[in-house]
Structure 1
Amino acid sequence: MEYISTRGKVGSIGFVDAFMMGLANDGGLLIPKEIPTFSEGTLQAWSKLSYTELVLEIFSYFTNDEIPADELKELVTASYSTFRHPEVTPVKKLSDELYLLELFHGPTFAFKDIALQFMGQFYSYVAKKKGAKIHILGATSGDTGASAIEGVRGKEGIKICILHPHGKVSKVQELQMTTVQEDNVLNLSVDGNFDDCQRIIKELFADLDFKAENQLAAINSINFVRILAQTVYYFYAYFQVAKETGSVKVNFSVPTGNFGDIFAGYLAKRMGLPINKLILATNENNILERFINEGVYMPGDFRMTHSPSMDIQVASNFERYLYYVLGEDAELITSIMEQFKVEGEISISAEALAKVQAEFAAHGVLGAECLATISNYKEETNYLLDPHSACGVAAAKQCAGEGEITISLATAHPGKFNEAIELCGIEQQYPEQIQALFNQSQRQTRIAGDKAAIAATIEQFYRS
């Protein structure tokens, strides 16, 4: 397996180099040169595997044996040993047509743990193998930061700096990041929104001199390994539901703001998983919904919502999907992304839009619908959804056809977003690990949303 850039100016590189490069050096995103496809017989054999066994099988097609099999097994085993459920990502039945894929059983109670616990182990492995210092830089709308920090806190040879938008994450998300006291962790609370944080991160990675001098490594979903790790639970969930229902195809409903989680589902479909429809759930920040429905990608006004992890207007993974839907034309993608940088809008042809709509549906879940979904499912099934998972369930209800089976992704534990739960008049009991956060002191640095100021702070931290 070789990896190339969506913009065509990064030659074929291997798995470890792709992992370490993060954002492609030409400003694009790294993707596999060819997507492997798996037969029905292979899928049938995989359906009998445990979660960690399935990770190893799927990864084996992408790693080029650059990591010896026994060492990769150790990394994967260590990554998921911290999860609170033996299945890692269990599936729960809510009705005959709706299943919930619980992705919140990791150490920070969010789906990001599934990829980032592995990436933390992998960065530590590379640091030891190469005797290198690794400086991780990332932006978060809430969940990525906590999970990334948890994955590398205290690890030798690694420092991590996370930018989060000041006052625009939930209190628990903030505490999970800022109560970590290890000296290899820096939290920057940035005046602005997530898109501002993400833009600054991408600009710093695109500055190749700055990237090299500071030995930057990416933890955001611009790193393809994040996407690859997330494809696994699509396969695992399908196998569990198919065993029960005998379904040939299922839908997946995915709450997403950065297009990373649903792109993992698209990749799984390209790899041969029998997915009928990918349902994209957004909130009031509905740039992706408009693209699916109209073929226009244009950021609007940023809005704070009950589902803050999806409060994103510019989706960093969108370029990967655009590359595939527009015929894998790197020159065209380069031109379009440069145009977007200047004009702030991308429009695709009717023919391309027809391809999009053959695979995707979308629904923007507004605040009242989100809260009503939480309340209704709590009353009817006694299941408490977090506001992001509620968006996924609401979108499934709107977009799935009659008689179709849908697996909706439960991306976080409701304890992380009590602000929304309280608005529903529901009193929840926090898990012990979350409750303990409220008694711990915080450590963070508030900073202006200014690239130069952030760059100077980052340099000082990495060189200290």
Structure 2
Amino acid sequence: VRGDFDDCQRLVKALLAHEDLRAQGRLSSVNSINWARLAGQIPYYVSATAQLGRAATFVVPTGNFGDAFAGIAAQKMGLPVNGFVAAVNQNDALARAINDGVYARKPARESASVSMDVQAPSNFERLIFEATGRDADRTRGVFEAFARDGEVTFDADLLAALRAEVSAHSIDEAQTRAEIAYAWKTWNRVVCPHTAVALGVARSLDRSAGPVVALSTAHPSKFGDVVSDVLGFEPEPAPVITALGDRPERLNVIDGTVEAALSSIKAFTGSPT
């Protein structure tokens, strides 16, 4: 799709709301728009807490806020947790919203941690819903204002409720690369740029209150160019990537419009839609 992640996600949501596609019941999302994605991430937090034997603070590299919200869901299901910290890159809309109380859309900026180049995280709506006491009308009002104006300022009570759920910190590109180097030098571990963002934030926190867990969300070989630029060597490829070998890559570039997407879906599936 000609556009950034936020453009793609807006397009997917428009398709999911398309009456003809909904009537056919043939379209779903495989990212964290779909609750199934979050349900599969909840066990991360349960497993980590069980291994530690006590509550921890979780630092989650955050783009669409799905993985972080999965942790919040685990906590609401009864998991003991000291806190959640959303670690974001230079695309810091979430951090600005939590820290400044203003949720404002800005163009996404390309980074080494590409899966976090998001300025309108879909699962932030789920967090707002929880923070408003599951008030659907109030949640709808927040996001209608955001869609209309590109910016919304939170009331004091809503902001306090959000901060009770999660804090947020950002690090820049230079810090991300420095954390990749630090992880290799200190632990002989090769980490991906997303993990590096979480490590950078985690290492800045006060750990006297209990353990801090930084989530590692991708295999470093998916980002071999960045890793090799920092460390001077390519990371060992993941077996699943090796198994792909030299298989052909198939893609179809389209404009970010519902009409273009429907045409592409029709061509791919043979559907009359």
What pairs up with 1:64-463 in 2 under 5 angstroms? 190-213=1-24, 215-242=26-53, 247=54, 249-427=55-233, 428-435=235-242, 437=244, 439-463=246-270
The residue matched to 1:275 in structure 2 has which SS? coil
Structure 1: any 5+ residue segments left out of the alignment?
1-189
Normalising by structure 2, we get a TM-score of 0.93
Structure 2: any 5+ residue segments left out of the alignment?
none
Q: Per-residue CA shift, 1:8-37, capped at 9, x if unaligned?
A: xxxxxxxxxxxxxxxxxxxxxxxxxxxxxx
Q: Per-residue CA shift, 1:212-265, capped at 9, x if unaligned?
A: 2362223221222221221122111110111xxxx3x21001001101110001
d(CA) in 1 for partners of 2:238, 2:18: 42
Number of matched pairs: 270
Give me the CA root mean square deviation: 1.7
The residue matched to 2:204 in structure 1 has which SS? helix
Residue 399 of structure 1 aligns with an amino acid whose one-letter code is: L
d(CA) in 1 for partners of 2:26, 2:238: 37
d(CA) in 2 for partners of 1:461, 1:440: 20
Native 8 Å contact 1:251 1:278 kept in 2: yes
Native 8 Å contact 1:251 1:400 kept in 2: no
Which protein shows a greater Rg? Answer: 1
Deviation at residue 384 of structure 1 after TM alignment: 1.0
The residue matched to 2:109 in structure 1 has which SS? coil
d(CA) in 2 for partners of 1:301, 1:259: 18
Q: Which runs of 4+ in 1 moved over 6 A?
A: none
Native 8 Å contact 1:196 1:449 kept in 2: yes
Native 8 Å contact 2:128 2:162 kept in 1: no
The residue matched to 1:220 in structure 2 has which SS? coil
Native 8 Å contact 1:250 1:277 kept in 2: yes
Q: Per-residue CA shift, 1:285-322, capped at 9, x if unaligned?
A: 11111112112211212100010011111111111110
Residue 209 of structure 1 aligns with an amino acid whose one-letter code is: D
Normalising by structure 1, we get a TM-score of 0.56
Native 8 Å contact 1:253 1:279 kept in 2: yes
Instruction: Specify whether residues 204 and 392 from structure 1 end up closer, same or farther in structure 2 by C-alpha distance, changes over 3 A only.
Output: same
Native 8 Å contact 2:12 2:29 kept in 1: no
d(CA) in 2 for partners of 1:277, 1:400: 12
Native 8 Å contact 1:281 1:391 kept in 2: yes
The residue matched to 1:354 in structure 2 has which SS? helix
Deviation at residue 370 of structure 1 after TM alignment: 0.5
